[in-house]
């Protein structure tokens, strides 16, 4: 069996995934093919992989490839963790909108940052899809690259791939956090969530049939500081807890980032992701230095879904994970073309999404806004229509709350110029 990592130079994330994979004895002898276009990062990833395998007693076949098709040839699973443009492009996604007065916290899912992260990623996804179709057509593509929902929609519409699932840890870690908050062992909690990536909702939160939401309500009522979080504020108003952090959640609605009073009341860390970028760079440098000096590395699993999916498909062990897949009726009151996050059963036959039915109407209303913007971004690329970039920004709630329509178009022009050759040629158009 062969597992190919595309973007393996994201060394810290690669390390966590490998630790998860090698923790399964059945996967200790797999072929791990690492690919990156940065030779130094690729070399670091390979050295880290060999170290982790040794620490966990695994004996994989490890290969490193600057050539993507060579890495993909014959793969059974492809894990995509690419970040096109790396830190430089991410800073552009913050700095240019900030110069127009647009505040962002993470800028990787919706908003101006999410739009242009998608548009600079799409050319890579199209090429990746073409390579997979030619050299490993039966492979499952497990995508971690954000913006998740836009990327999965683009992959399914522009490349024709069908074995694609987007993976994110937000549901899992949200439920771990909620279990800890209400003082119930996570192993005793059952839950069901659904929606869209980074804006899904905890529809059921139970222990032995007991609804745990009243416990959460009591804690929130008793703790004023707990109420000073965006996701708690959204929960109190919408009735269902959102599955992503307050930092993320604040960007997908028009109510918070445009108001100084709300930023202060809810302690919203504007520009937060730039600090994370710096931390990731520092973590990479520490890993590289440790490997060069022979110092020990921390080997710690991350409970990510991709290794669990691979293990379930290889061994037939059934699991339920949360995956991002084309809707096609899975959530009845959301657009069929959109990508939704739902429970999926995984076993030897693959990843099988489950039908959720209808979301509560207030939740579906927000998710529809999100998916409408996603659809415009994907259409911009698939239809070579630069105006849809502007239409997407106009439809984005947080951007529309911050700027006039004229300034939205000017901001999009500035972003097109700033990202330049990272975009497909048909979209490198200044419309004025």
* Residue range 302-328: mean pLDDT, rounded: 96
Q: Report pLDDT digits (tens) over 378-404.
A: 999 999 999 999 999 999 999 999 999
26: helix, strand or coil = helix
pLDDT, position 302: 86
Confidence of residue 299 (pLDDT cuts 50, 70, 90): confident
Q: Report pLDDT digits (tens) over 222-250.
A: 999 999 999 999 999 999 999 999 999 99
Residue 11 has pLDDT above 90, yes or no: no
* Residue range 110-135: mean pLDDT, rounded: 98
For 368-398, the DSSP string reads: HHHHHHHHHHHHHHHTT-THHHHHHHHH-HH
Q: Are 155 and 131 in contact (CB under 8 A)?
A: no
Residue 126 has pLDDT above 90, yes or no: yes
> What ranges do the domains of the chain cover?
2-166
Strands 140-143, 164-167: pairing kind:
parallel
Exposure string of 150-182, with b = 16+ CB inside 10 Å and e = fewer, is bbbbbbbbbbebeebbbbbebbbebbeebbeeb
pLDDT, position 298: 83
CATH topology of domain 2-166: Rossmann fold (3.40.50)
* Residue range 200-210: mean pLDDT, rounded: 97
pLDDT, position 418: 97
What are residue 40's phi and psi, to 5 degrees? -65, -45
* Residue range 358-372: mean pLDDT, rounded: 98
Tell me the percentage of the chain whose pLDDT exceeds 90.
93
* Residue range 130-145: mean pLDDT, rounded: 98
What are residue 137's phi and psi, to 5 degrees? -65, -20
Confidence of residue 201 (pLDDT cuts 50, 70, 90): very high
pLDDT, position 87: 92
Residue 432 has pLDDT above 80, yes or no: no
Rounded alpha-carbon distances, angstroms, from residue 117 to 86, 87, 112, 148: 10, 12, 8, 10
pLDDT, position 1: 95
- d(C-alpha 57, C-alpha 53), whole Å: 6
* Residue range 249-257: mean pLDDT, rounded: 97
Strands 339-347, 77-80: pairing kind:
unpaired
* Residue range 312-339: mean pLDDT, rounded: 97
Strands 190-196, 140-143: pairing kind:
unpaired
Q: Report pLDDT digits (tens) over 83-101.
A: 999 999 999 999 999 999 9
Confidence of residue 300 (pLDDT cuts 50, 70, 90): confident
pLDDT, position 314: 96
* 339 DSSP β-pair partners: 326
Q: Report pLDDT digits (tens) over 145-176.
A: 999 999 999 999 999 899 999 999 999 999 99
Residue 375 has pLDDT above 80, yes or no: yes
Q: Which residues are catalytic?
A: 169
pLDDT, position 297: 85
- d(C-alpha 414, C-alpha 169), whole Å: 33
Residue 28 has pLDDT above 90, yes or no: no
- d(C-alpha 17, C-alpha 14), whole Å: 5
Residues 6+ positions from 378 with CB-CB distance below 8 Å: 118, 150, 153, 154, 157, 158
């Amino acid at each position: 069996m062969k597992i190919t990592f595309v973007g393996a130079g994201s060394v810290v994330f690669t390390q966590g995934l490998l630790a998860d994979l090698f923790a399964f004895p059945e996967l200790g002898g797999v072929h791990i093919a690492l690919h990156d276009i940065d030779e130094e990062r690729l070399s670091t990833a390979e050295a880290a992989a060999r170290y982790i395998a040794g620490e966990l007693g695994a004996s994989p076949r490890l290969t490193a490839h600057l050539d993507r098709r060579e890495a993909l040839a014959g793969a059974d699973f492809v894990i995509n963790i690419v970040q096109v443009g790396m830190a430089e492009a991410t800073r552009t996604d913050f700095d240019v909108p900030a110069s127009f007065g647009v505040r962002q916290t993470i800028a990787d899912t919706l908003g101006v940052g999410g739009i242009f992260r998608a548009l600079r990623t799409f050319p890579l996804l199209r090429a990746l899809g073409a390579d997979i179709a030619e050299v490993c057509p039966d492979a499952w593509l497990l995508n971690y690259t954000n913006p998740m929902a836009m990327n999965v929609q683009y992959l399914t519409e522009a490349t024709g791939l069908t074995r694609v699932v987007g993976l994110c840890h937000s549901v899992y870690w949200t439920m771990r956090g909620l279990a800890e908050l209400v003082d119930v062992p996570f192993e005793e909690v059952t839950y069901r969530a659904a929606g869209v990536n980074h804006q899904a909702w905890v529809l059921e939160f139970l222990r032995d049939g007991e609804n745990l939401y009243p416990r959460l309500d009591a804690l929130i009522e008793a703790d004023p500081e707990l109420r000073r979080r965006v996701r708690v504020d959204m929960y109190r108003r919408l009735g269902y807890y959102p599955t992503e952090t307050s930092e993320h959640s604040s960007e997908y609605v028009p109510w918070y980032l445009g108001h100084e009073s709300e930023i202060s009341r809810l302690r919203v860390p504007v520009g937060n992701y730039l600090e994370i970028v710096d931390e990731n760079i520092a973590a990479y440098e520490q890993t590289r230095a440790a490997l060069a000096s022979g110092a020990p590395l921390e080997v710690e699993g991350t409970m990510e879904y991709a290794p669990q999916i691979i293990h379930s498909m290889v061994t037939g062990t059934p699991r339920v994970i949360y995956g991002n897949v084309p809707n096609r009726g899975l959530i009845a009151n959301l657009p069929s073309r959109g990508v939704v996050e739902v429970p999926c059963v995984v076993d030897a036959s693959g990843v099988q999404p489950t039908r959720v039915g209808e979301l509560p109407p207030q939740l579906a209303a927000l998710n529809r806004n999100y998916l409408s913007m996603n659809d415009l971004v994907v259409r911009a690329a698939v239809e070579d229509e630069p105006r849809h970039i502007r239409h997407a920004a106009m439809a984005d709630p947080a951007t529309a709350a911050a700027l006039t329509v004229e300034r939205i178009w000017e901001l999009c022009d500035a972003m097109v110029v700033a990202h330049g050759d990272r975009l497909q040629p048909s979209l490198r158009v200044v419309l004025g």
